[in-house]
Each structure stands twice: as C-alpha cells, then as structure tokens.
Amino acid sequence: MIKLIASDMDGTLLNDKMQVSDENAAAIRQAGENNIEFIVATGRGLTEAKPLLADQHLHPAYITLNGAMVYDEDGKLVVSIPLEDKMTEYSMQLLDDRGLYYELVTDHGIYSNSRVRRIQNVADLLVNLNPDTNYKLAVALASARLEIMNINYVDNYESIMADPDVHVMKIIAFNTADPETLVEPKNILIKTGKLMVTSSSKNNIEINNVKAQKGIALAKYVAQKGFGMDSVMAIGDNFNDESMIRDAKYSVAMGNAVPEIKDLAWFVTATNTNHGVALAIMKAMEENRLEQSKSQTEFVN
C-alpha cells in the first residue's frame, strides 16, 4: 500500500507559471481523503516553497534544501544538516575563483549579492523547465513571484560568514550562458567526499552536506511514521531527485524529466504543464485499490 507521496516542485509540482495547478491541488486533497500523506521534497528553502502551496490552501510537511532541513506538517523543524564551515569556505572560494554567481541558503534565509542575477536565474529556470515560455514573459513572472521577495540582498557574503548564529545549509551556483563551466567545480567538490553536488536544472549546481539528500531525508521521515520506502511514491524530474526516485518502491518520473530519471522510474507520468503529479496521484490510489481488492480476494479464498 502506498501511504505517502513525495513530490519535487520545480519541473514537477509547479507548472510553467510556477504555480500548483488546480488539478494537482485537487488530487493532493483527494489523496489525503484516501489516507495517503503528501509531502513536498524540494531544493528550495521553506520561504520559497511554502507560499506556493499556501496559494492553494495546502499545508504539507516539507523536505527542503534537498534534505538539509525537514519540517513536519505543523511547521516544526525536525531535521537540520548544515554544510561544514570548512566545506562552505572551500566551495565559495572555488566558485569565486571561477567568477561564478552563487547564493547562500541559510537557516536564517536565502542571501544573494545581486537582485538582477537572482531574477535572471529564476527566469532562466522557467525557460529551461518550460521551453514554450518566452524569456520576456519569464522575466516578468520571475520579478513578480513571491520567492523574489523572500531573498535577502547583501553587497557581499562576508557578514553572513562572520555571524556565528547563521549556518549555511546549501550553496547554489548558476551559469546560464555556459553551463559547461559548472562541470569542473562540480567534479572537484564531489571528490572531497563531504559534499553532495546535484542539479535542479542544467544551468545550476546545488551543493549540500553529503548527508543531506532527498532520499535519506524521506527514508528517515517515513521511518518515524512507522513504515518504509516500500510504501512510498516519489515524483521528480531532475538529478537532485535521484536519491528518492532510486529508493522509493513507486518511483515516478515526469514526462519532462531528464532521461536518467526516467530510466530509474517505475512509471513515467505526464509533464509538469499537463498535471503530471495529479496523474501520478491517481495511479497511486488505483494501485491501492487493486491491492485491497487482491487482499480481500485472497482472504475469501
């Protein structure tokens, strides 16, 4: 029986306008009515993710920052896995040396040293995930979205690093003009053995503590609920979803997912612009109905 569904956001739960569609929202509510919990598993921070679900009056638990911070349905922080200070400094120096733009995601919010680059990168993400969206529209959408307002803009990151009460949970670096420039630093950082470096689109890399992975966080969350990953459906589209897609029994790739994620999946659903999450939820409920029917038949026989 599927007892919990975990869904990524960008390219998965969110459509081309960075919204949860009415169809997806209705399916999430229907899952709850059928005793299937829905949890968000995203590379975003809580302040970026929560408003987009709240727009549909949805208040699930959240695995955020690729598993670095996990919140229960009441909004209580139940997991926190920051980057080690030495690894943060090492990563920042590596990115600075290569002239790459990056943001610091901390337990006190998200920090950027360029509002223009922030808006540009959200727009680029929109176009990347939704090729039918033109860039001018993407910039307008990016400028208007709530997540832009939830960013702290600073001249430089020195004050953040000097504050002992602030812990860096994730670093995300971007290069839309030439994504290939991200490959070399990614490989160097992975070789430390202390970092998990993934991507939520081809134009970024996301740097976490090696223990902060969606799959690990999801397994711990469901264990606290009293069941295992054999009762979990996980839905995603990109490399930062790989650990939970690999570990969940019912793994679902979006129709717009990268080929590597599709290859791992138990089922490939529709695209994010065609309510693929809703379709996956319907399939989960159908699987449960089939299993219940089978169990009843076996009991009678």
Task: Give the side-chain half-sphere CA count within 13 A for 165.
Answer: 2
Give the CA radius of gyration of the chain.
19
Tokens at 201, concatenated: 């689109």
List 8, 16, 237, 241, catalytic entry: 8
In 3D space, the residue among 220, 210, 208, 184 whose CA is nearest the CA of residue 79 turns out to be 220
Is 247 an active-site residue? no
In 3D space, the residue among 192, 190, 211, 208 whose CA is nearest the CA of residue 200 turns out to be 208
Q: Is 280 exposed, middle or buried (0-12, 13-18, 19+ CB in 10 A)?
A: buried
In 3D space, the residue among 98, 24, 82, 35 whose CA is nearest the CA of residue 57 turns out to be 24
The C-alpha angle with vertex 64 and arms to 195 and 135, in degrees rounded to 5, equals: 95
Phi, psi of 70 (to 5 degrees): -125, 135
Phi, psi of 120 (to 5 degrees): -60, -45
For residues 173 and 175, give the distance between their C-alpha atoms in angstroms, rounded to a whole number: 7
CA distances (Å), 19 to each of 12, 14, 106, in order? 10, 5, 24
Active site residues: 8
